[in-house]
A and B are shown apart, each in its own frame.
Chain A
Amino acid sequence: MAVFIKPDAFDPAAELTRFEATLPMGSFGATSSFTGTMRDFNEDSSVTMMTLEHYPGMTENQLESIIADAKSQWDIIDALIVHRVGDIQPGNPIVLTAVCSAHRAAAFDACRFLMEALKSRATFWKKETLLDGQQRWVEKNTPG
């Protein structure tokens, strides 16, 4: 299980490679991953920057709990969640979830579960800066 809260930009491919390298070679036959990236638009507005706030301590607990739930529901070998906090620019990765398992079905399904559970349980909040400099809190997640 690996959970990382990143105050700076991260490279999803490098994080995924590093995560897979922590597992015994040949121990998994499937890796499924999801990367969420910042858009430059939301609800008909142009967005120039986003600031992600979180609840230190609780966030990590929630993410570890979500991975534990995935492990109890699917036959997976391990899972990774990486999430940004702080100021984020359009095009930058916000979140990476990844699951390694023996076969693809568990990896696909558990990876989707990680993202959906994160969106409803993990204590992160987004604040957008619009083209005219105004800021607004994102009040709800978009449908999957």
Chain B
Amino acid sequence: MPIKVKFFASLREQLKQDLKEIDAAGIQTISDVWEKATDTPLLPSHVLCSVNLEHREPHESVKDGDEVAFFPPVTGG
């Protein structure tokens, strides 16, 4: 199964994409997902991430079928 990648808010607008599916081959961490999904090497430090709807850190692992999301700092309330 592919990894589903979502982008939100200003990040979605900057990258001009909201949803992408990528092959999990060669992917180990969230940072790897960012590189493959955006074709850019380094996950910016201000970008937050989640796996399967839970906040996670870039070094944490991902697997086939996961939903990974990238987004800017939250501003609700």
- Digit string of A30-60 for contact with B (CB within 8 Å is 1, else 0)? 0000001000000000000000111101100
Known: A57-B53, A58-B53, A123-B8. A118 touches B77 (CB 8 A): yes
Contact-size category for B = 10 to 19
Does A126 contact B76, Cβ atoms closer than 8 Å? yes
Taken residue by residue from 39 to 77, chain B's Cβ proximity to chain A (1 for < 8 Å, 0 otherwise) reads as 000000000001001110000000000000101111111
Q: Is the CB of A58 within 8 A of B69?
A: yes
Chain A residues with Cβ below 8 Å from B77 are 36, 83, 94-95, 115, 118-119, 122, 124, 141
A120 CA to B75 CA, complexed, in Å? 8
Given the known inter-chain contacts A58-B50, A123-B8, please indicate yes or no for A139 contacting B74, CB distance below 8 A.
no
Q: Give the Cβ gap from B10 to chain A, nearest Cβ, in Å.
A: 4
A138 adjacent to B75 (CB under 8 Å): yes
B74 partner residues in chain A, CB cutoff 8 A: 119-125
A137 within 8 A of B: yes
Count A/B pairs, Cβ under 8 Å.
71
* A contact residues, total (Cβ < 8 Å): 28
Question: Is the C-beta of A140 less than 8 angstroms from some C-beta in chain B?
Answer: yes
How far apart are A11's CB and chain B's nearest CB, in angstroms? Answer: 18
- Structural contact, A122 and B76, CB atoms closer than 8 A: yes
Find the B residue at minimum CB distance from A36. B77
Residue of B with least CB distance to A84? B76
Question: What residues of chain B lie closer than 8 Å to A52, measured between beta carbons?
Answer: 76
Q: Given A125-B10, A127-B9, A137-B9, does the pair A55, B75 have CB atoms closer than 8 Å?
A: no
List 5 A–B pairs whose Cβ atoms lie within 8 Å, in order of A's numbering: A52-B76, A83-B76, A119-B75, A123-B50, A140-B73
Using a CB–CB cutoff of 8 Å, the interface residues on chain B facing chain A are 6, 8-10, 50, 53-55, 69, 71-77
State the A residues within 8 Å of B (CB). 36, 52-55, 57-58, 61-62, 83, 94-95, 115, 118-127, 137-141
Given contacts A55-B8, A61-B54, A119-B76, 6 further A-B contacts (CB under 8 A): A83-B76, A120-B74, A125-B74, A127-B9, A137-B10, A141-B75
